[in-house]
Amino acid sequence: MDKIKKFFSSNIREISLIIVMIAIAFFVEFRSGGNFFTGENISDMLTETAVLAICAVGMMTVMVTGGIDLSIGAVMALSAMVGGTVLKNNQSVPTIAIVLISIAVGIVCGFINGTLVSKLRILPIIATLGMMNIFRGITYLVSNGSWVMQQDMGANFLSLATGRVLGVNNLIVIALAVYIIAAFFMTQTRTGRKIYAVGNSEESARVSGIKTGRTLTMVYTILGAIAGLGGILYVCKYGVAQGETCTGYEMNVIAACVLGGVSVNGGTGRVGGVLLGAVLLGILNNAMPLIHVSSFWQEAIRGLIILLSIIANSLIQRNVEMKALRRRNI
């Protein structure tokens, strides 16, 4: 009994997210006349969410250190554009090589961000805002203003986003793999725990001998790599790479993290929570058309749900603190 109670209190955020999700799901199922819980719809929804979820977990590592990366959309576009251009010139390049090229480009971008933040001590929001412009500009230069269209990519590459493993869409499989690796990395390795230490207190971390600068550079580089992967998958899924790809995507990714309980002040955030945050956004995106919410309403509703959920969360938090104060019996 005690254990169950403890489980609930330490996972209150995740549990309330799941409850919200289930509530939305059943509401939609009911209103749409049973169109939500179909294998096809669920699969569609998760496929649509996969890229966002992948990127969100990368953003989480940065946000846990108290930083933020506004350039993620631009990095996605740039790495996808480089990958796409290679493909355009030579469709016989194997898909895996294209993905690796994109990831490599992302790593370089992330490393630059990380260096600006850790070495030059530029505030993350400013550094990545500046780099966002630069990466986006380079994207146009690489593409020379032209688009990489579906026919430029070739069926072989495009099948990456449509293919299935054991009946599950590749993108979902890749996202799951990323989450398993991330969960393992963040909870089971020393390096992962250092990220939390730096985010909790950079000073303490330094005192206990952690090289904080290196940790910071690392998280931005990781996010770069993930953005590279996310970018190429995004392009693969939607079949076009252009200069505007993923404009404003950073806000979606940050929103998923915030919904999932990652604090912008650093120190907290769990892989599971971020997954739930991303999926919740995915459900919203998927559910609203199903129950015939006009597409013009969707944006405002999404924003409102994000705002309400962060407010609800801080009310819950206050309640918990008040209870702790009452217990002091003063």
**By CB under 8 A, residue 181 contacts another protein:** no
CA distance 253 to 209: 32
**Contact positions with another protein (CB under 8 A) in 54-93:** 68, 70
Please count the other Cβ atoms lying within 10 Å of the Cβ belonging to residue 226. Answer: 28
- Of 210, 236, 241, 275, the residue at the interface with another protein (CB under 8 A) is 210
Minimum CB distance to another protein smaller for 156 or for 298:
298
Could you tell me how many residues of this chain bind another protein (CB under 8 A)? 75
Is 35 in a helix, a strand, or coil? coil
Q: Cα separation of 84 and 98, whole Å?
A: 8
Structure tokens at 217: 């550079």
Asked if 209 touches another protein (CB under 8 A), the answer is: yes
Q: Which is nearer to another protein, 155 or 299 (CB)?
A: 299
The verdict on 4 binding another protein (CB under 8 A) reads no
Q: From the CB of 125, what's the least distance to another protein, in Å?
A: 6
Of 231 and 261, CB closest to another protein = 261
Q: Which of 196, 220, 234, 249 touches another protein by CB under 8 A?
A: 196
Smaller CB separation from another protein, 166 or 324:
324
Spatial contact of 77 and 243, defined as CB atoms under 8 Å apart: yes
**What would you report as the CA-atom Rg of the chain, rounded to the nearest whole angstrom?**
21
Compute the distance between CA of residue 324 and CA of residue 303 in angstroms, rounded to an integer.
32
Near another protein in 21-60, by CB under 8 A = none
- Count CB neighbours of 298 within 10 A: 15
Check if the beta carbon of residue 148 is closer than 8 Å to that of residue 242.
Answer: yes
Choose the binding region for another protein from 98-106, 208-216, 230-238, 282-290 (rule: CB under 8 A).
Answer: 208-216
Q: Which stretch binds another protein (CB under 8 A): 25-33, 213-221, 231-239, 300-308?
A: 300-308
**Strand partners for 114:** none
Structure tokens at 154: 């070739």
Determine what percent of the chain falls in helix, strand and coil, rounding each to the nearest 5.
Answer: 80, 0, 20
Which of 14, 18, 43, 140 is close enough to bind another protein by CB under 8 A? 140
Among 50, 62, 99, 116, binds another protein (CB under 8 A): 116
Residue 141 binds another protein, judged by CB under 8 A? yes
Closest CA to 120 of 223, 221, 219, 216: 216
The residues facing 87 across adjacent strands are none
Rank residues 21 and 310 by Cβ distance to another protein and give the closer one: 310
Q: Which is nearer to another protein, 156 or 200 (CB)?
A: 200
Task: Give me the least distance between CB of 141 and another protein, in Å please.
Answer: 5
Q: Which of 40, 92, 96, 190 binds another protein (CB under 8 A)?
A: 190
Q: Which of 241, 223, 222, 224 is nearest to 232 (CA)?
A: 241
Contact segment (CB under 8 A) with another protein among 16-24, 88-96, 134-142, 234-242 equals 134-142
**Which of 162, 184, 238, 319 forms a contact with another protein (CB under 8 A)?**
184
Interface pick for another protein out of 201, 240, 290, 291 (rule CB under 8 A): 201
Whose Cβ is closer to another protein: residue 41's or residue 65's? 65
Planar angle of CA 247, 250, 255, nearest 5 degrees: 130
Between residue 142 and residue 171, which ones bind another protein under the rule CB under 8 A?
A: 145
Interface with another protein, residue 216, by CB under 8 A? no
Contacts 24+ apart (CB under 8 A), 86-92: 87/148, 87/152, 87/153, 87/154, 87/157, 88/148, 88/152, 88/153, 91/152, 91/153, 91/154, 91/156, 91/157
